[in-house]
Amino acid sequence: MRPRWLLNENFPRPAVARLRASGWDVLAVAEMAASASDPAVMARAHRESLWLATFDRDYGELVFSRRLPPPPLILLLRVACYQPAEPADWIESLSNSSALKPGHFHVYDGQTVRRRPLVADDAPSRG
């Protein structure tokens, strides 16, 4: 079964459309909660068990410094130059391989994936 994705506000619309056309269940923050704060986006992903994809490095701080409850998986895309629909290809490819592991924060640079375990859900919150 494919995971459900929450695509952060900075996710390109052509990539959202391509994922949906390929049968992925995706929610796009830009369509439903534009300007939502990063903690609110992460709280929704956590609450609804959505995998979160973003280009925003602040999610690492939210998880590892502020220790907010994480979603099942976070994918930080750190690719400088790309075509607007390309992030859909990355998500499809990474999801269909063994590169993404629930319970981890992932950083994808266009070629490789680095992973770090997420903080446990019951970790104390600082913010």
| pLDDT, tens only, 23-62 | 999 999 999 988 999 999 999 999 999 999 999 999 999 9
On whether residue 124 sits in a domain, the answer given is no
**What is the tally of structural domains in the chain?**
1
Residue 27, domain member (yes or no): yes
Cβ count near 101 (within 10 Å):
12
Q: Is residue 123 part of a domain?
A: no
CA gap 15, 5 in Å, rounded? 12
52 within some domain: yes
User: pLDDT per residue over 4-23, tens digit each?
Assistant: 999 999 999 999 999 999 99
pLDDT digits (tens, 9 = 90+) for 64-106: 999 999 999 999 999 999 999 999 999 999 999 989 999 999 9
In this structure, is residue 24 part of a structural domain?
yes
**Long-range Cβ contact pairs of 21-29 (< 8 A, separation 24 or more):** 22/88, 22/92, 24/91, 24/92
**Containing structural domain, residue 12:** 5-117
> How many C-beta atoms lie closer than 10 Å to residue 49's C-beta?
13
Inform me whether the pLDDT recorded for 123 exceeds 70: no
Q: Is residue 46 part of a domain?
A: yes
The answer to whether residue 99 is domain-embedded is: yes
Domain-located, residue 122: no
